Chains A and B, each alone.
Chain A
């Protein structure tokens, strides 16, 4: 089942070739935290700004602790804003 992994704006280059329109379904490793998952996908930490798990924002320290579970949606943006 895995998780839905979404990378937006300039980060889409780090998605696997199987990705469609900024999203890919990827398998989880056991007890994998958000930060471990991001590192495994080789998304540079410096470009990771806005991190949402199931739409909820995770601050930096929470990313180290938060363990992903099957069916989650992890979405990440570089620094962006609008109005």
Chain B
């Protein structure tokens, strides 16, 4: 079976690392990664715990397919109670770290307590040890990873770490692995920092066993063939990356612009995939250098970029004149359109800084956008911002805010608290484009109605990766639906939510679902794991996980009243594009959604639903 059957429990207070058997009943019911780690968190912690308390636990989790030959099997997650939201946090990352952890023989690492001084966890197969990280504290992700690699003298080690943002308690700090892949959202990096855990370094040579190797070969090859032949996963994403959406979403009038004042950005083309591929005059090169793949991924959606060396952000800074993780669509939107900034290299620089110091670019960019709104109405001034005219479209001021937040300096400390807290402090809570205190991403709910319900009901706060109905509403995958209507969206959102929870929990990438369905993924789980993993069981596990997360949030204090959107999305109509005159019709979708979920009118799962799912 492809669960290793082993959990590493790290008591940071006592400084101990112990191996314990995986609870196989839970593995059968929650599969792995997102689902299984959340089950452990639910069982072992109080949902009302302060996210920064030593009593909050943080779990690094792989799935049963992580590290196997299944395509896109590099996924792993960080699960804890999130400090940005106070809700369940599960941040998914790619790269190579997760597969290495699995190959070292661990399904999960559970961190509990808090170390008195900075430490890092050093894993080589079944040997795990906490080591002093005092000399690493204060260093960036890039410096930490480079130093630990050199210290180990093994180029094949993998590192996940936090930068200054995680150390400083930025509420949307990320855990970054392999230099530029991140468990980005909800502030999991700040929880890591609160525990004085700087990094985890891992080398694994044990390998991953599967139940039926021949069936694993057969099902994985079948899935790879579908991914290769599918025009989106075989050509579109490898060639253009996610950034190709910039012009698409702008054209359909669903690109949240200048903190949601507009739904179309006149500078969209300047920050798009097409612009990344344009040769610039200064050095005859393009921003985009190449694509890049995570472990076992045939899609290669990631981008590698190089900033124009003469650009003001990097001209005196050689460390940024490198080829590194380039802009994805979400980052380009949040750092760009959300602020009215159309300088591609400035956004790429901001993205580099996010990777370097461990920040979620979505929440960072959206929070700077909210600050620009505050500046616009005079709620903050140059006195607050360190002399910067924080106007929409001011690239220099934007860059200054990114740097200040990364370093934890000046007004950056305020931006590091996220837009909900920032806007409340300065008297305009309505300027915060958040759900459950988490900034929403790059799809305006007025132009894509289903995404409104997606954000409102997402268990980790506003998020596109909990039910990516954009696939259906804009791209026609698996079937085209009208983005401007609310009818049918409740069922669509529920189906996407359950399927995504299952895919996440398998240890593969949700991007496979542009081509694969449960009919393709469940057989790989079945080949890898004990038990009969039918498609029906696969999806039911997803539904069970969704309801478990919901129950956690209810116990943490959330209610149906939190399943809502910022007023701007519900009252201020879109000004241009196909959605002109429209607001999001959340009230038309939410009751039906609750009903389809088997929840009562206030959004609480019924006893019958819980019993049906074995919760």
Give residues in A with beta carbon < 8 Å to B: 6, 8-10, 12, 21-22, 49-50, 52, 54-57, 59, 73, 75, 77-83
Question: Inside 8 A of A54's CB, which chain B residues have their CB?
Answer: 578
CA distance A54 to B269 in the complex (A): 16
Which listed residue (A6, A12, A50, A55) contacts B476, Cβ 8 A? A50
Which listed residue (A9, A52, A83) contacts B274, Cβ 8 A? A9
Question: Inside 8 A of B394's CB, which chain A residues have their CB?
Answer: none
Q: Quick check: B578 and A56 within 8 Å, CB to CB?
A: yes
CB-nearest residue of chain B to A55: B578
CA distance A77 to B215 in the complex (A): 37
Q: Quick check: A57 and B476 within 8 Å, CB to CB?
A: yes
Which listed residue (B230, B470, B475, B577) contacts A50, Cβ 8 A? B475
**17 pairs across A/B with beta carbons < 8 Å?**
A6-B247, A9-B240, A9-B274, A10-B239, A22-B247, A50-B474, A55-B251, A55-B253, A59-B480, A79-B232, A81-B237, A81-B242, A81-B514, A82-B237, A82-B244, A83-B330, A83-B465
CB-nearest residue of chain A to B464: A83
CB-nearest residue of chain A to B515: A81
Q: Quick check: A82 and B510 within 8 Å, CB to CB?
A: no
Question: Inside 8 A of A81's CB, which chain B residues have their CB?
Answer: 232-233, 236-237, 242, 244-245, 471, 475, 477, 511, 514
Instruction: With a 10 A CB-CB cut-off, give which of B240, B245, B468 has the most chain A CB atoms.
Output: B240
Q: Taking the complex as formed, is B87 at the interface, i.e. its CB lies under 8 A from any CB of chain A?
A: no
Question: Inside 8 A of A52's CB, which chain B residues have their CB?
Answer: 251-252
Which listed residue (A10, A55, A79) contacts B252, Cβ 8 A? A55
A78 to chain B, nearest CB (A): 7
CB-nearest residue of chain B to A52: B251
A4 to chain B, nearest CB (A): 11
Known: A9-B236, A52-B251, A57-B474. 17 other contacts (CB 8 A): A8-B244, A9-B274, A10-B239, A50-B248, A50-B474, A50-B475, A50-B476, A57-B252, A75-B251, A79-B230, A80-B475, A81-B475, A81-B514, A82-B241, A82-B243, A82-B248, A82-B329
Question: Inside 8 A of A55's CB, which chain B residues have their CB?
Answer: 251-253, 577-578
Give the interface size bracket for B toward A.
35 or more
Give residues in B with beta carbon < 8 Å to A: 230-233, 235-237, 239-245, 247-248, 251-253, 269, 273-274, 328-330, 464-465, 468, 470-471, 474-477, 480, 483, 510-511, 514, 577-578
Question: Inside 8 A of B577's CB, which chain A residues have their CB?
Answer: 55
Question: Inside 8 A of B230's CB, which chain A residues have their CB?
Answer: 79
Q: Quick check: A83 and B511 within 8 Å, CB to CB?
A: yes
CA distance A6 to B240 in the complex (A): 17
Instruction: With a 10 A CB-CB cut-off, give which of A9, A59, A79, A83 has the most chain B CB atoms.
Output: A83
Contacts A78-B235, A79-B231; A9 near B244 (Cβ below 8 A) = yes
Q: Quick check: A83 and B468 within 8 Å, CB to CB?
A: yes
CA distance A23 to B98 in the complex (A): 43
Contacts A9-B273, A57-B480; A80 near B244 (Cβ below 8 A) = yes
B367 to chain A, nearest CB (A): 21
CB-nearest residue of chain A to B514: A81
B28 to chain A, nearest CB (A): 29
Question: Inside 8 A of A56's CB, which chain B residues have their CB?
Answer: 252, 578
CA distance A82 to B251 in the complex (A): 15
Q: Quick check: A80 and B240 within 8 Å, CB to CB?
A: yes
Contacts A9-B236, A9-B273, A78-B236; A83 near B244 (Cβ below 8 A) = no
Question: Inside 8 A of B231's CB, which chain A residues have their CB?
Answer: 49, 78-79
